[in-house]
């Protein structure tokens, strides 16, 4: 043992002497844990500081979420077809076909608990309804109904959301076998805030202002028992910021999960412009961000961007966002309004389908308005009277890429033609991340809107598209 130590010390001293008078090469950064290989057993994710780790090495969490729907295909809702609010084994196999350098390694699965119909006839009715629904925000409970209808055994009757869990477990097991962790959302507060009748309790946000009741604790325990020992991490909620749950509510669910699975990694969703944590809430093992396509500065715990604001974002946008993310900020990929081909390319499982707005003119003018005391909005415009007339804007010298309410091409072309948009106030750059200390102005969840402190003192707010076309408004 002494001889081995002496030899090691001699080698180290020799290495130091070789560096005298010359610059030594910098110490390489820790090697991140590679994307899990399909078929291997997934080791548990842990948290160290603001980083995820697996087996003591940094783990680059690459989340994907298969929601929602391409409005260019009114006859099919891609998210529902693919198994949203979870996913399907077929889609998992497609995601696993991506090369290692582009492959994602975790998949969002929202567990509900959704109210399921008890009769086969109602199941069939909801199945048909789900087939005809179209739009970005197709209700997740419809996806749950459809998933159950397609996968249930003959004669099975579903009474409530607990029957969803064993089926999600099977999908999660398949995901694990292909190298994907399951990002399981314990309570979908979308239902509390938007449609209380579709969660199994009929609860709205008011229940979250106090400690969870026994029915809520039992659900959290059932979730923990179902997935214990599997490759998972948990978010206490989806869109928790809409209910602004109390510390007592989240503490209760967190404790119930931990009691069943002490090693569980558990986070919660917050809105970046409201702070980390939001007022009246606390942070747990990590924090997730939703309804925004902006970065947060790194925090004391990991930050996961789960869901953008719903606009179309091509692959180049995601790559730029990922390149700017600070260590400890993880950028997930969200389908939103992408086509099948665009989505598969975004997750590395298909070829580049090319731009969606190649036939559209470039941005030629920026129209900027002050809408509220602290918010401004910009609209990129085409400067082509002939094109404007052919696209619904007669007698206009310049026009937007589509009318108000256009569910795809207006926002898609604004993003593809002009993002990233840069904002300045009196030539001082606005913050590109949420809640940046000392910022004179800062991003909203919409890249074409900006927050500015109150005042009417002649300040000039300016925004420029990536092609150099700018516009401004006096504040």
Domains of the chain: 45-346 (3.20.20), 365-474 (no CATH)
Say whether pLDDT at 66 is over 70: yes
What is the edge-to-edge ordering of all strands in the sheet holding 442-443?
365-372, 375-381, 449-451, 442-443
Contact predicate 73/325, CB 8 Å: no
Handedness of CA 142, 148, 151, 156 (dihedral sign): negative
Query: What confidence score (pLDDT) does residue 323 get?
Result: 92
Contacts of 453 (CB under 8 A, 6+ apart): 374, 440, 441
Query: What confidence score (pLDDT) does residue 128 get?
Result: 44
What number is the average pLDDT over the span 436-447? 72
- The secondary structure element, H or E, covering residue 442 is strand 442-443
Closest to 227 (Cα-Cα) out of 144, 160, 147, 165: 165
With bands split at pLDDT 50, 70 and 90, how would you rate the model's confidence at 458?
confident
Mapped onto helix, strand or coil, the DSSP state of residue 373 is coil
Burial 175-208 (b: 16+ CB within 10 A, else e): bbbbbbbbbbbbbbbbbbbbebebbbbebbbebb
Q: How many helices (H) and strands (E) does the chain have?
A: 13, 20
What number is the average pLDDT over the span 193-210? 91
Pairing state between β 63-68 and 106-110? parallel
Query: What confidence score (pLDDT) does residue 183 get?
Result: 98
Residue that is written with structure tokens 């209380």 in the block: 196
pLDDT tens digits, 4-30: 333 333 433 333 333 433 344 444 444
What number is the average pLDDT over the span 439-458? 79
Say whether pLDDT at 310 is over 50: yes
| Whole-structure pTM value | 0.84
Per the model's pLDDT, the better-predicted residue between 443 and 74 turns out to be 74
Q: What angle do CA 300, 221, 204 make, to 5 degrees?
A: 80
Query: What confidence score (pLDDT) does residue 291 get?
Result: 77
The rounded distance, in Å, linking the Cα atoms of 191 and 114 is 8
Say whether pLDDT at 437 is over 80: no
Mapped onto helix, strand or coil, the DSSP state of residue 2 is helix
What number is the average pLDDT over the span 314-328? 90
Say whether pLDDT at 289 is over 90: no
Per the model's pLDDT, the better-predicted residue between 234 and 194 turns out to be 234
Query: What confidence score (pLDDT) does residue 431 get?
Result: 80
Query: What confidence score (pLDDT) does residue 35 get?
Result: 59
The rounded distance, in Å, linking the Cα atoms of 143 and 145 is 5
Tokens for 294, please give them.
Answer: 């902006």
Query: What confidence score (pLDDT) does residue 327 get?
Result: 96
Query: What confidence score (pLDDT) does residue 103 get?
Result: 97
pLDDT tens digits, 353-408: 999 999 999 999 999 998 888 889 999 999 999 999 999 999 899 999 998 777 78
């Amino acid at each position: 043992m002494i001889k081995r130590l002496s030899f090691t010390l001699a080698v180290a001293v020799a290495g130091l002497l070789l560096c005298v008078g010359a610059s030594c090469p910098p110490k390489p950064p820790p090697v991140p844990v590679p994307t899990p290989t399909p078929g291997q057993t997934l080791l548990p994710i842990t948290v160290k500081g603001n980083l995820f780790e697996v087996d003591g090495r940094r783990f680059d969490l690459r989340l994907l979420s298969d929601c929602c729907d391409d409005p260019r295909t009114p006859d099919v809702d891609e998210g529902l077809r693919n198994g949203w609010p979870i996913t399907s084994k077929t889609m998992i196999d497609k995601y696993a076909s991506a090369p290692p350098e582009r492959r994602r390694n975790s998949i969002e699965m929202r567990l509900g608990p959704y109210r399921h119909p008890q009769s086969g006839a109602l199941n069939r009715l909801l199945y048909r309804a789900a087939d005809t629904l179209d739009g970005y925000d197709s209700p997740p409970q419809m996806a749950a109904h459809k998933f159950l209808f397609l996968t249930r055994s003959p004669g099975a009757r579903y009474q409530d959301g607990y029957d969803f869990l064993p089926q999600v477990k099977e999908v999660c097991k398949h995901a694990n076998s292909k190298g994907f962790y399951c990002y399981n959302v314990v309570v979908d507060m979308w239902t509390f805030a938007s449609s209380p009748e579709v969660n199994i309790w009929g609860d709205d946000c008011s229940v979250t202002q106090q400690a969870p009741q026994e029915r809520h604790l039992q659900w959290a325990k059932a979730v923990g028992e179902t997935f214990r020992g599997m490759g998972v991490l948990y978010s206490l909620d989806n869109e928790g910021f809409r209910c602004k749950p109390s510390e007592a509510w989240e503490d209760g669910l967190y404790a119930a999960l931990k009691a069943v699975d002490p090693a569980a990694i558990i986070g919660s969703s917050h809105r970046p412009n409201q702070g980390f944590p939001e007022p009246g809430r606390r942070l747990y093992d990590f924090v997730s961000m939703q309804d925004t396509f902006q970065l947060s500065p790194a925090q004391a715990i990991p930050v996961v961007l789960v869901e953008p604001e719903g606009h179309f974002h091509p692959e180049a946008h995601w790559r730029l966002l990922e390149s700017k993310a600070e260590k400890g900020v993880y950028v997930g990929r969200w389908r939103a309004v992408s086509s099948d081909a665009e989505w598969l390319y975004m997750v590395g499982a298909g070829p580049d389908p090319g731009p969606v707005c190649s036939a559209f003119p470039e941005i030629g003018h920026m129209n900027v308005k002050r809408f509220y005391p602290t918010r401004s909005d910009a609209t990129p415009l085409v400067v082509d009277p002939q094109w404007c007339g052919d696209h619904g804007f007669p007698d206009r010298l310049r026009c937007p890429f589509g009318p108000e309410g256009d569910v795809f091409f207006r926002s898609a072309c604004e993003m593809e033609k002009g993002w990233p948009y840069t904002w300045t106030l009196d030539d001082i750059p606005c913050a590109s991340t949420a809640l940046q200390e000392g910022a004179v102005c800062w991003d909203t969840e919409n890249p074409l809107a900006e927050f500015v402190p109150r005042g009417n003192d002649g300040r000039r707010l300016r925004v420029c598209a990536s092609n150099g076309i700018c516009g401004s408004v006096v504040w």
